[in-house]
Amino acid sequence: MKICTSNLRLALLPLALAAAFPSFSQTQATPQLHETVVTATRNEQLLSAALPHTTVISREDIERSQATDLVTLLQRESGVQRTQNGGIGTTSSIFVRGAAALQTLVLIDGIAQNKQDASGAVSLEHIMLDSIERVEIVRGNVSAIYGSGAIGGVIQIFTKTGSRAPSAAVSLELGPRAFKKLSGSVSASLGDTSFSATLSGIKTDGFSALNPAQQPGANPDADGYANTSVNLSATHKLSKDHNFGIKLFKSTGEVAYDNAFGAPTDVQNSTTRLGQVTVFTDNTFGNWRSRLSLSEQSDKSRFFDDGAFGSTATFRTRASVLNWVNTLALGNDWIVTGGLEQQRQRVETTTTSAFDSAYDQKRNATAVFAGVEGKVGPGALQLNVRHDKVGELKESTGYIGYGYPITEQLKLIASASTAFNAPPLGYLFAPGFGNPQLKPELARSKEVGLQYEREGHLLRATYFDTRIKDQLDFDQAASTFANISRTRNDGLELSYKGLVGQTDLRASLTLQDPVNEVTQQRLNRRASTLMSLGVSQPMGAFRVNADLQYSGERPDVYTDVNTFQSVNTTLGSYTLVNLSGAYKLTPELMLKARLDNAFDRKYQTVYGYNQQPRSLYVGVTWTPKQ
């Protein structure tokens, strides 16, 4: 990896600051961070004990950020980069460690989101935050734990569940471009049954997504968005060791968008419906814990374009998922995990276009996995293996990691892993450009890092080297999907979270070199430098928050609407500053305000697509006494 001297000094700065933390922390008497995480191994553990580079976004973090949607929240995290075709609700991609969106696995309550059309990308832009309790991000190859798609990493979303203590909240938020958001939630228990419900609605007139100066054929009208989300959860406790329940999550997003190849009077819009229902049982028998779940997950999108080349098309992915995970504690030092997974995946499409054909395909996917974690010598070992069969494809993957304590506060971590990604059904069978001969993408990764933890501070630096072969890409010459790329990315990630006095601090830095090894060019839309800083400070009844995000320049390519030729371009670097604050007027009533893009920065994450200008939002949250 090529890193200039100034970038290297910047990267080492947090480590130098960490060395100064002990004496400062002792005088402030700040508490330890005791956040837990489950995604790194499938078992609950302290965040500081996780061997893969893992971060957690808690419900408290979500509320302080005042972010509306998941995509906006994720871009603050180390190694995570967002691209978006306009404002809220427009097509979005998340790159983790430079890996394509298709190579990052997204889970909702442990269930993989399997979008099987020819896009393959999960509809993250339609996941709003009112229903989310927490988000965990595990970086790097973890296919040995979760299977296909976990090359860049895993993003796991945990929706809200019921609690024994009753609670309720109603929130209203208003903003520019006729933005309105109303949400309500309730959580309670009745005997041994706890339940929760969350309902939210968002509507905005939006702004013109495509920039008319760059794409004069686009409709210059504002592109609005509306979303309705529902989350329901109920759990019944049979005893302290046995419970069962049901969870339901739904989100419907309706967005207007623009087509650069149309006319300025054309109208385009789409509707996406995400849904997941899960029934589960969780049982403990002495040292053995068994978790069994059955889920039905779906992603249905309808696109309408009334232009000369337009059509009405629908794409629906469905997956039935059976998961059985078993954990056995062997004494105080070792945990063994093993389980089975069965999926039935299906994609169905319809279209009125003369240029495309509908298709209906399905396949089964099965997996068996096992893992051990425990103490070896003075340090901790994690070993995972997994065998997957996806349709006719078979792959085995592995992960081995070791954490060695250098001192009580400083730990050295090293790991090696392999991963794979099976092509979606649309890549294989879409009429005209699908390729049934596609092979899975294969990846291998090595990591070494240092972690510092002491009295309310957690700092982690990780050097990673990931190579991917047989990468899926669209072969323009053959007009079909093919395994034609090899990519590599090596880099340095730093993440910090801590408490100094009453001030919450968060920081991340990513220096990376994501390259296509065939062309030796930087991967499109990937920045070599990403950085974020966050500060949250209470002041009596007030709390103020500031967030800074920086992205370096990125290569991109677009199609000229006149010649239909590909044109290479560069997206400029940008720095965003977002400010927010809250004031507790009474114990039940809180006033909120948020200023996004405070300095009205003009920037693009995809060529030709505008991003949100400076925007002020105000709101109120009422939490009645119970």
Q: What is the pLDDT at residue 217?
A: 86
51 CB-side CA count, 13 A: 30
Which residue type does 261 have? Answer: F
Token reading at 379: 């340090």
- pLDDT tens for 37-63 read 999 999 999 999 999 999 999 999 999
What percent of the chain lies above the pLDDT cut of 70? 95
Q: What is the pLDDT at residue 1?
A: 52
- pLDDT tens for 85-114 read 999 999 999 999 999 999 999 999 999 998
- Mean of per-residue pLDDT scores for the chain: 93
Residue 614 above 90 pLDDT? yes
Q: What is the pLDDT at residue 307?
A: 86
Residue 168 above 50 pLDDT? yes
> Which residues have CB under 8 Å from 58's CB, separation 6+?
35, 134
Residue 3 above 60 pLDDT? no
Q: What is the pLDDT at residue 476?
A: 86
Residue 392 above 70 pLDDT? yes
Domains belonging to the chain, first-starting first, are 5-19+39-622 (2.40.170.20)
Range in 7-21, 365-379, 538-552, 584-598 with the lowest mean pLDDT: 7-21
- Please check whether residue 247 is in contact with residue 203, taking contact to mean a CB–CB distance below 8 angstroms: no
User: Coil, strand or helix: which one is 59?
Assistant: helix
Residue 29 above 60 pLDDT? no
Average pLDDT on 330-347 reads 96
Separation of alpha carbons 500 and 536, rounded Å: 11
Give Cα 294 distance to the centre of its chain: 23
Q: What is the pLDDT at residue 626?
A: 74
Closest CA to 40 of 109, 157, 142, 148: 142
Token reading at 203: 């509507």
- pLDDT tens for 495-513 read 999 999 999 999 999 999 9
Q: What is the pLDDT at residue 319?
A: 97
Q: What is the pLDDT at residue 30?
A: 38
Average pLDDT on 225-236 reads 98
Which residue type does 464 have? Answer: F
> Which residues have CB under 8 Å from 306's CB, separation 6+?
266, 267, 268
Q: What is the pLDDT at residue 4?
A: 45
Q: What is the pLDDT at residue 310?
A: 84
Token reading at 573: 């670097």
- Please check whether residue 69 is in contact with residue 612, taking contact to mean a CB–CB distance below 8 angstroms: no
Average pLDDT on 467-478 reads 93
- pLDDT tens for 531-575 read 999 999 999 999 999 999 999 999 999 998 888 889 999 999 999
Task: Please state the φ and ψ torsions of residue 269, each to the nearest 5 degrees.
Answer: -155, 165
Q: What is the pLDDT at residue 564?
A: 85
- Please check whether residue 493 is in contact with residue 461, taking contact to mean a CB–CB distance below 8 angstroms: yes
More confident residue, 273 or 485: 273
Q: What is the pLDDT at residue 33?
A: 56
Separation of alpha carbons 609 and 259, rounded Å: 11
